[in-house]
């Protein structure tokens, strides 16, 4: 019997246990989406390929199995490059399937003709085009396998338009089964015992947990390690919740101090890139001993020469460390000078934040808004966060208690990921943890990148709560009066600050337009009421537009993650 290219693609994805597909259909890929639905893959039609690709990549992080992004040729493919790059930078598995022009029209200036396979190589671990229908299952198996083996990343498969409806006899197809789960490798024994003795001799140890540890599902072993050895730990932004943020050993509120004075640092699936100031002075000690645990050999030794290198799966290597510590018990004393210093710093920083959070002045500041959000949201919700100040201050103010429940701009610092990530998280939660709520906290500028995905959210009835922290701009904005004054000077294109957006924009009306609930909020009471109503109604998506002081920023040098000097 005959089978079409579209059916082959759908059946091959299903055979590799792919569950979700996001995209924007059109010539020549529409039939692929229809075929995917026919075999039981969930298809979510998005409003822009960029958001679709972000959504598919988040599925890979949340489930360990790549999501698929389906795009048309030329511009459709190009709009998905942001998502491919973001996935590869974050080390998340992703499959992108792009239609391309018919083979018999190559070089002729075909509709949306573009060298997609070559272009894809920069952004992907693998960029391929099957040479015939018969090999599609094998190519898809290789792409899925490549995306999840070793350091995860994005893979691109190019499908010529004429392949989609072309038919071939089933018997001539090279069928392949599902790839084996990724093998978990362990570190060399000698490296493990070397690491353990370095930790045992340290005076001021620090454990830094990265999102690689979250992807590796290492939370149980890492929690055990923290408790067994009594080590202070610092999560990178998306690693929050691997060990709960309220754990007594969490030193996130004394981040600068912890980094600057630690004599031994254990990196668990975190890279010494810009987020950790490259591991270099003045942010770190000149003589800091780094124990690096990573799945990617090429990452070992970047920027700082490590004292010990443990190449392997984070979960497996953490287990090795635990076994070694059970033979040579180490309990780092909680009354040490190091702990005293860290605790003092934590107290000071938390007091400062608390002072700002309890300010009664209107319009509200960031801290007040986050204080009320923190009081009301469920402990186990999935938090999606993006923006400049909104994301930075939100990271310090909104705690995570469970792994893989914070999604943000990530290693690549990508703005525009929020709504795509939220759609993905809501789809996965609906299937795997019904009742778990998705809260998306956005800056007003960040929301603008993919604001139309609100329609997607309403179409699939995903009860996401979007909170826009609205300061009328990027970093800072103008209030309505200052805006009016500004316009007296002439054309806004010549006199309005480049960071400004229109004051008092009613973003909540976008949600109302599609049948969700919108709230416009100016006071703490209104915020509490809107949030309570949104969280209680678990059937309807909602958007709370929170107006804050356009000049509100963060307190001086608070967690200097993103000050211009270290970008």
pLDDT tens string 133-189: 999 999 999 999 999 999 999 999 999 999 999 999 999 999 999 999 999 999 999
- 302-330 pLDDT, tens digit each: 999 999 999 999 999 999 999 999 999 99
Share of the chain above pLDDT 70, in %: 98
Q: What is the pTM of this model?
A: 0.96
d(CA 562, CA 309): 29
From-to residues of CATH 3.40.50.1220 in the chain: 189-343
Q: Which pLDDT band holds residue 564 (cuts at 50, 70, 90)?
A: very low
Say if residue 563's pLDDT is above 90.
Answer: no
**Closest-CA residue to 56 (of 66, 64, 47):** 66
- 268-279 pLDDT, tens digit each: 999 999 999 999
From-to residues of CATH 3.40.50.970 in the chain: 2-172, 359-547
d(CA 135, CA 299): 34
- The residues, any chain, with a CB within 8 Å of residue 281's CB and separated by 6 or more, are none
Cα-Cα-Cα-Cα dihedral sign, residues 552, 556, 561, 564 = positive
**Closest-CA residue to 85 (of 124, 125, 129, 127):** 124
Buried b / exposed e across 417-452, counting CB within 10 Å, b at 16+? bbbbbbbbbbbbbbeeeeebbbbbbbbbbbbbbbbe
The pair of structure tokens assigned to 484 is: 């009016």
E-strand spans in 401-460? 406-407, 438-443
Helix (H) or strand (E) holding 316: helix 314-327
Residue whose token pair is 């003045």? 282
Q: Which residues pair with 159 in a beta bridge?
A: 99
Please give the C-alpha separations between residue 366 and each of 357, 363, 391, in angstroms, as whole numbers. Answer: 8, 10, 10
In CATH terms, the fold of domain 2-172 is Rossmann fold (3.40.50)
**Mean pLDDT score of the chain:** 96
d(CA 215, CA 421): 16
Say if residue 507's pLDDT is above 50.
Answer: yes
Say if residue 558's pLDDT is above 50.
Answer: no
Query: What class is the 189-343 domain?
Result: alpha beta
**Closest-CA residue to 467 (of 555, 404, 397, 412):** 397
Strands 126-128 and 67-71: unpaired
Q: What is the pLDDT of residue 555?
A: 56
**Closest-CA residue to 267 (of 240, 234, 221, 219):** 234
Average pLDDT (40-44) is: 98
Q: Which residues pair with 158 in a beta bridge?
A: 98
- 390-447 pLDDT, tens digit each: 999 999 999 999 999 999 999 999 999 999 999 999 999 999 999 999 999 999 999 9
- 57-95 pLDDT, tens digit each: 999 999 999 999 999 999 999 999 999 999 999 999 999
Strands 382-386 and 289-294: unpaired
DSSP 160-203: EHHHHH-EEEGGGS----PPPPPP-----HHHHHHHHHHHHT-S
Length of the chain: 567
**Closest-CA residue to 251 (of 314, 206, 202):** 206
d(CA 47, CA 555): 37
Judge contact between 67 and 59, C-beta under 8 A. yes
End-to-end CA distance of the chain: 59
Judge contact between 254 and 345, C-beta under 8 A. yes
- The residues, any chain, with a CB within 8 Å of residue 476's CB and separated by 6 or more, are 499, 550, 551, 553
**Preceding amide of 28 cis, omega within 30:** yes
Q: Give the per-residue SS3 of 90-151.
A: HCCCEEEEEEECCHHHCCCCCCCCCCHHHHHCCCCCEEECCCCHHHHHHHHHHHHHHHHCCC
Cα-Cα-Cα-Cα dihedral sign, residues 413, 417, 422, 428 = negative
The pair of structure tokens assigned to 469 is: 């922290």
The pair of structure tokens assigned to 323 is: 């076994």
Q: Which residues pair with 128 in a beta bridge?
A: 157
Residue whose token pair is 């197809």? 173
Q: Which pLDDT band holds residue 554 (cuts at 50, 70, 90)?
A: low
Strands 542-547 and 465-470: parallel
Q: What is the pLDDT of residue 335?
A: 96
The phi and psi torsions of 328 (rounded to 5 degrees) equal -125, 80
Judge contact between 443 and 469, C-beta under 8 A. yes
Q: What is the pLDDT of residue 553?
A: 81
Share of the chain above pLDDT 90, in %: 96
d(CA 380, CA 357): 23
Q: Which residues pair with 468 in a beta bridge?
A: 442, 545
Judge contact between 230 and 249, C-beta under 8 A. yes
Calculate the CA 281 to chain-centre distance: 28
The phi and psi torsions of 8 (rounded to 5 degrees) equal -60, -45
Query: Is 359-547 a CATH 3.40.50.970 domain?
Result: yes
The pair of structure tokens assigned to 223 is: 């929690």
Q: What is the pLDDT of residue 406?
A: 98
- 514-547 pLDDT, tens digit each: 999 999 999 999 999 999 999 999 999 999 999 9
């Amino acid at each position: 019997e005959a089978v079409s290219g579209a059916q082959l693609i759908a059946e091959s994805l299903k055979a590799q246990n792919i569950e979700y597909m996001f995209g924007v259909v059109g010539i020549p890929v529409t039939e692929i989406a229809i075929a995917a639905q026919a075999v039981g893959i969930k298809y979510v039609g998005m409003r822009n390929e960029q958001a679709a690709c972000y959504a598919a990549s988040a599925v890979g992080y949340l489930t360990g199995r790549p999501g698929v992004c389906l795009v048309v040729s030329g511009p459709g493919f190009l709009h998905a490059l942001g998502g491919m790059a973001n996935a590869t930078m974050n080390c998340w598995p992703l499959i992108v399937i792009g239609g391309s022009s018919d083979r018999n029209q190559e070089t002729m200036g075909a509709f949306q003709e573009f060298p997609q396979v070559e272009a894809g190589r920069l952004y992907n671990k693998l960029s391929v085009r099957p040479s015939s229908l018969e090999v599609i299952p094998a190519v898809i198996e290789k792409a899925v396998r490549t995306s999840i083996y070793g350091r995860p990343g994005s893979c691109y498969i190019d499908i010529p338009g004429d392949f989609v409806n072309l038919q071939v006899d089933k018997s001539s197809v090279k069928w392949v089964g599902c790839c084996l789960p990724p093998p978990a490798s362990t570190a060399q024994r000698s490296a493990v015992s070397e690491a353990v003795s370095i930790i045992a001799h340290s005076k001021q140890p620090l454990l830094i947990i990265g999102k690689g540890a979250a992807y590796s599902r290492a939370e149980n072993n890492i929690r055990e390690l923290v408790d067994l050895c009594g080590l202070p730990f610092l999560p990178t932004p998306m690693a929050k919740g691997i060990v709960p943020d309220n754990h007594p050993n969490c030193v996130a509120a004394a981040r600068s101090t912890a980094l600057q004075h630690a004599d031994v640092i254990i990196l668990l699936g975190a890279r010494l890139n810009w987020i950790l100031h490259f591991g270099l002075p003045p942010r770190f000690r000149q003589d800091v001993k780094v124990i690096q645990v990573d799945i990617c050999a090429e990452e070992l030794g970047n920027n700082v020469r490590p004292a010990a290198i443990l190449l392997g799966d984070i979960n497996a290597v953490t287990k090795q460390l635990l076994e070694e510590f059970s033979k040579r018990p180490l309990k780092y004393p909680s009354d040490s000078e190091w702990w005293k210093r860290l605790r003092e710093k934590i107290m000071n920083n938390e007091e400062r934040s608390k002072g700002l959070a309890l300010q009664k002045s209107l319009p509200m500041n960031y801290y007040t808004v986050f204080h009320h959000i923190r009081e009301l949201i469920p402990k186990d919700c999935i938090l999606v966060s993006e923006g400049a100040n909104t994301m930075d201050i939100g990271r310090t103010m909104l705690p995570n208690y469970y792994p893989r429940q914070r999604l943000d701009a990530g290693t690549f610092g990508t703005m525009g990921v929020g709504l795509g990530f939220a759609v993905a998280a809501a789809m996965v939660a609906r299937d795997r943890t019904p009742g778990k709520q998705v809260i998306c906290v956005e800056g007003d500028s960040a929301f603008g990148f993919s604001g139309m995905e609100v329609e997607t959210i309403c179409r699939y009835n995903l009860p996401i709560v979007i909170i826009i922290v609205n300061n009328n701009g990027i970093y800072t904005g103008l209030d309505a009066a200052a805006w009016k004054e500004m316009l007296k000077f002439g054309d806004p294109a010549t006199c309005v600050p480049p960071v400004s957006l229109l004051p008092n924009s009613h973003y909540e009306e976008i949600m109302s337009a599609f049948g969700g609930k919108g709230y416009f909020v100016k006071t703490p009471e209104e915020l509490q009421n809107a949030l309570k109503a949104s969280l209680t109604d678990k059937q309807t998506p909602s958007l709370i537009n929170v107006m804050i002081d356009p000049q509100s920023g963060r307190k001086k040098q608070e967690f200097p993650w993103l000050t211009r000097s270290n970008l």
